[in-house]
Structures are given as structure tokens and as C-alpha cells.
């Protein structure tokens, strides 16, 4: 770590972990389910932290993250930024926004949105040069946008299924 001024200290590191994803469907007129299966994926990337004082800090990350359900995934470049509060060292709690940019998808382009917004709640611990965390990312925007048609001619009912993605993440990181 290097000292900037007063209490401020900057740190950098890398992290990786596992994602558990659930998509909550909205506006489902015929109780049609896209999938009820949760998805398991991964994430990895880098982070930068700024300790403001002994109780508060900021952290931002750049993560490549595989999300989605079952075999229907989307890869995002996620950029979370959150405020960290250290109620008791080495434990920290964090809250903040996240923006994700679609990098790749197994589905046809246009069925997943290109940008996803979320809010995160983070619980972690910094032990020596290592950090462990459990995080829940609440989807604030629809990531899924699929059009379907039900029925047989001439009684075809088109409808769109939209869904918000929520992720639970477990991570292990190393601070330089």
C-alpha cells in the first residue's frame, strides 16, 4: 500500500470466485417459464481500494463475470463501486452500484440487454494480504428481453418476457 495523504491508502489486487444466478421474470401473461433453474458461473478480475480512514473506504472492481441460468449464459464486464465500512477489523460491509456491459452470450444477440444495472451488498474480511467476500447483486434493470408467440393461427398471441438477474457471489482475492 502507498500513502496518499492523512489516512488515505491505496491498494490493488486480483480476485476470482463463483456466481449463483437467478433470473426473476416479469410480465409473464401466460405463466410461461423461461427457466426455473439457477445458474452457476464464475468471475475474475482486478480491484482498487482507497481507505479513507480506519472506518471507511471505497473500492472499485473490473470483473469478467459469467452469469445466467443453466446453459443459457451471458458474460459481462462488471464495474462495481462501493463504500466499505469496517465495524470491527478485519470485517467490512459494503454497498454501492454496479454497471455491467454484455461481452458475450450463448443466446441470440438482442435477447440479453447490452447494459445491466445493479445494486450490491457486500460482506467481507481482509486477512493479511487476502480478502474473502460474499456479495449479493440485486438486478435493477431487465437483462432478458425475449419475444414469443403462443397459440396456433389465427389465434397467435405475441408477448415479451423480461427478467431481472440477481447474483450471489463468493470471492477470494489477493492484495498487492
What global pTM score does this model have?
0.83
Domain segments of the chain as ranges:
2-175
Residue 29, pLDDT > 50, answer: no
H/E/C letters for each residue in 101-156? EEEEECCCCCCECCEEEEEEEEEEEEECCEEEEEEEEEECCEEEEEEEEEEECCEE
pLDDT in tens, 117-134: 999 999 999 999 999 999
Phi then psi dihedrals of residue 142, to 5 deg: -70, 125
pLDDT in tens, 145-156: 666 666 667 777
CATH class for the region spanning 2-175: mainly beta
Span of 57-66, 111-120, 127-136 with lowest mean pLDDT: 111-120
Amino acid at each position: 500500500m502507498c500513502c496518499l495523504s492523512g489516512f488515505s491508502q491505496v491498494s490493488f489486487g486480483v480476485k476470482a470466485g463463483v456466481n449463483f444466478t437467478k433470473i426473476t421474470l416479469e410480465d409473464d401473461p401466460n405463466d410461461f417459464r423461461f427457466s426455473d433453474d439457477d445458474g452457476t458461473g464464475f468471475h475474475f478480475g482486478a480491484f482498487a481500494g482507497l481507505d479513507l480512514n480506519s472506518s471507511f473506504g471505497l473500492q472499485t472492481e473490473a470483473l469478467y463475470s459469467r452469469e445466467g441460468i443453466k446453459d443459457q449464459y451471458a458474460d459481462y464486464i462488471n464495474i462495481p463501486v462501493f463504500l466499505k465500512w469496517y465495524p470491527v477489523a478485519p470485517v467490512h460491509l459494503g454497498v454501492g452500484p454496479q454497471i455491467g456491459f454484455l461481452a458475450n452470450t450463448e443466446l441470440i444477440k438482442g435477447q440479453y440487454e447490452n447494459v445491466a444495472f445493479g445494486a450490491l451488498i457486500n460482506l467481507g474480511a481482509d486477512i493479511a494480504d487476502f480478502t474473502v467476500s460474499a456479495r449479493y447483486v440485486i438486478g435493477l434493470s431487465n437483462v432478458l428481453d425475449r419475444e414469443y408467440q403462443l397459440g396456433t393461427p389465427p389465434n397467435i398471441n405475441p408477448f415479451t418476457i423480461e427478467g431481472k438477474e440477481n447474483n450471489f457471489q463468493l470471492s477470494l482475492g489477493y492484495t498487492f
